[in-house]
Chains A and B, each alone.
Chain A
Amino acid sequence: MRNVFIIAKRELAAYFGTGLAYVFAVIFVALTGAFAFFIGNFFGREQADLLSFFQYHTWLYLLLVPAVAMRLWAEERKAGTIELLMTLPVTTGEAIIGKFLAAWAFIGFALVLTFPMWITVNYLGEPDNGVILTSYIGSFLMAGAFLAIGSCISALTKNQVIAFIVASTICFLLVMSGTDLVLNFFRSWAPQIIVDAVASLSFLTHFNEIMRGVISLASVFFYISLIAFFLFANAIVVDQRKAA
Chain B
Amino acid sequence: MTVLVEADRLRKTFGQIVAVDDISLKVEKGEVLGFLGPNGAGKSTTMKMLTGFLEPDSGMARICGHNVSESPKAAKTQIGYLPEGAPAYGEMTAGAFLRFIAEIRGFDGHQKTTRVASAVERTGLEKVVDQPIDTLSKGFKRRVGLAQAILHDPPVLIMDEPTDGLDPNQKHHVRSLIAEMARDKAIIVSTHILEEVEAVCTRAVVIDRGRIVADGTAEDLQRRMPYHNAVALKVGAATADAVTSALGSIAGVASVERMKEDGGLIQLRALPKAGALIAPDVAALLAERGLSVSELYVERGRLDDVFRKITSEEAARRHA
Contact = CB atoms under 8 A, between A and B. Distances in A.
B92 to A, nearest CB: 7
Contact of A86 (B53, B88, B101, B103): B53
B184 interface: no
A14 B89 contact: yes
Interface in A1-59: 3, 6-7, 10, 13-14, 17-18
Contacts of B72: 91
Contacts of B48: 83, 243
B101 A88 contact: yes
B100 A89 contact: no
A87 B91 contact: no
Given A6-B103, A6-B104, A89-B76, A83 B53 contact: yes
A100 B213 CA distance: 45
Contacts of A83: 48, 53, 83, 87
A197 interface: no
Contacts of A7: 104
B96 A87 contact: no
A84 interface: yes
Contact of B104 (A3, A80, A81, A242): A3
A5 B81 CA distance: 23
Interface string A84-106: 10111111000000000000000
A119 B73 CA distance: 49
Contacts of A81: 87-89
B90 A79 contact: yes
Contact of A87 (B79, B84, B90): B79
A161 to B, nearest CB: 19
A86 B76 CA distance: 9
A40 to B, nearest CB: 37
A63 B148 CA distance: 37
Contact of A18 (B88, B91, B105): B91
B105 A89 contact: yes
Contacts of A14: 89, 91-92
Interface of B: 14, 48, 51-55, 72-73, 76-77, 79, 81, 83-85, 87-92, 96, 100-101, 103-106, 132, 148
20 contacts: A6-B104, A10-B89, A10-B92, A13-B92, A14-B92, A17-B92, A18-B91, A83-B48, A83-B87, A84-B83, A87-B51, A87-B76, A88-B101, A89-B76, A89-B77, A89-B106, A90-B104, A91-B73, A242-B54, A243-B48
